[in-house]
Amino acid sequence: MPVNVEIPVEKWPGSVRQVTLGATAAEGGTRQHTVAVGGANTLPFLGFEGTLPHRPQIAIEVRSSNPGEEWPEPLSSAWGDVLDDPAAWAKAAEAAGAELILLRLTSTDNTGASMTAAKARKVLRGVLGATGLPLIVLGPGQAELDNELLVAVAEEGVGERLVLGYCEDKNYRTIVAAALAHHHLVISRTPMDVNLAKQLTILIHDMGLPLERIVMDPTTGALGYGMEYGYSVMERLRLAALQGDIMTQQPMIVTPGEEAWRTKEARAGEGVPGAWGDWAQRAVNWEALTAAALVESGADIIVLRHPETVARVKRMITELMAA
């Protein structure tokens, strides 16, 4: 006897806010094209019940100085000489399939000298010249230096609709002011908590920055190192967004590359159990599986490090977006 199965479809009242990164010449910048994220009115990839106007985008991390020992061999060897030159690196990242470039300004340059505002401007110029992709620019992660460098970068890149980060609970005003003054976007980063994420969005918005210029980073844990906390916070944020809570509707940026490549599983080639398997494969799997889980839980921008991971995660997203 034929059985009638009614597919359960959720009609969500809310949707993820659409945010556009970068600006073309016509829009006052120099990017070849802009990149839009967000806009979905259903859970990730459930095309049968809603629309997903933009696929999640892959950013590759490029640094202003060579990461040296900080990056294990399977990662640094994938890039080779370009690690010494952020412009060449950005070009290589674009060739490797990046849809966005994340430029991380480090506290020292390749000679070991301190990073300065003037040097940061120069690095930014170089990277803008080397790639036509929209840019995300991060400071070294020390509040004072972040502010100094990001203010300079904001001014130097005026009109480019850069994404500046990180705005955090204790340090966001200067970065938001710089974004306001020079027409950029910001990343609002909070430590794995729905309410903190919401609160910082509100504080940034209260300074006058439109919600269309805020991307939120709910903080990522690597696979095996707290990944599930970030995963569930993301699911809760996305559900809240779809239920219509407007301060949770910002697109989400996650950093599985950074987190996964800090783990022992990615870093250790010797003196580890045989059950861990081949180092290079395991390391890339660690990054790719961390990213995959976050793609499923609602990431809109995924920041990766290894070109092989980029290829895999892009392929996964293409498959997930297939009608």
Partner 1 sequence: MALSGLEIYKLLPRTNCKECGYPTCLAFAMKLAAKQAKLSLCPTVSEESKARLSAAATPPIRLITLAADGRKLEVGNETVLFRHEKTFFHPVGLLVRVPDTLSAAEITALAKAVADYKVDYVGMALTLDGLAVDAVSGDADKFAAAVAAVRGVCTMPLVLLTEDPTVMAAGLAKTAGVTPLLYAATAANWEELARLAKSAKAPLAVRADTLAGLAELTDKLTGAGVEDLVLDPALRAFNGSLATLTQLRRLALKKNFRPVGYPIITFPYLGEADPAMEGLLAAQQIAKYAGMVVLGRFDPATVYPLLVLRANIYTDPQKPIQVEPGIYPINKPGPDTPVLVTTNFSITYFAVANEMESSGLPAWLLVADAEGMSVLTAWAAGKFDAEKIAKTVKGTGIAEKVGHRKVVIPGHVAVLLGELEEELPGWQIKVGPREAVDLPRYLKTAW
- Site residues (CB under 8 A) for partner 1? 1-8, 43, 45-48, 69-70, 141, 221-229, 231-232, 235-236, 239, 262-265, 267, 273-279, 281-282, 284-286, 288-289, 292-293, 296-297, 308, 312-313, 315-316, 319-323
150-163 burial, b for 16+ CB within 10 Å, e for fewer?
A: bbbbbebbeebbbb
1: how many CB neighbours lie within 10 A of its CB? Answer: 2
The answer to whether the CB of 57 falls within 8 A of the CB of 317 is no
The answer to whether the CB of 106 falls within 8 A of the CB of 115 is yes
Q: Which two tokens stand for residue 15?
A: 């949707």
Q: Which is nearer to partner 1, 74 or 134 (CB)?
A: 74
Q: Which is nearer to partner 1, 124 or 294 (CB)?
A: 294
Least separation in angstroms between CB 168 and partner 1: 12
Least separation in angstroms between CB 28 and partner 1: 37
Q: Which amino acid, 106?
A: T
3-state secondary structure of 253: strand
The answer to whether the CB of 62 falls within 8 A of the CB of 82 is no
The answer to whether the CB of 45 falls within 8 A of the CB of 16 is no
3-state secondary structure of 97: coil
Q: Name 185's bridge partners.
A: 163
Least separation in angstroms between CB 20 and partner 1: 26
Least separation in angstroms between CB 321 and partner 1: 7
Least separation in angstroms between CB 262 and partner 1: 5
Sign (positive or negative) of CA dihedral 65, 160, 314, 216: positive
Distance CA 323, CA 320 (A): 8
Least separation in angstroms between CB 88 and partner 1: 26
Q: Which is nearer to partner 1, 128 or 291 (CB)?
A: 291
Q: Which is nearer to partner 1, 245 or 296 (CB)?
A: 296
Least separation in angstroms between CB 315 and partner 1: 6
Least separation in angstroms between CB 297 and partner 1: 8
Enumerate residues 6+ apart whose C-beta is below 8 A from 191.
Answer: 219
Q: Which is nearer to partner 1, 208 or 274 (CB)?
A: 274
Q: Which is nearer to partner 1, 175 or 227 (CB)?
A: 227
Q: Which is nearer to partner 1, 159 or 226 (CB)?
A: 226
Q: Which is nearer to partner 1, 180 or 192 (CB)?
A: 192
Distance CA 76, CA 110 (A): 15
Distance CA 103, CA 95 (A): 16
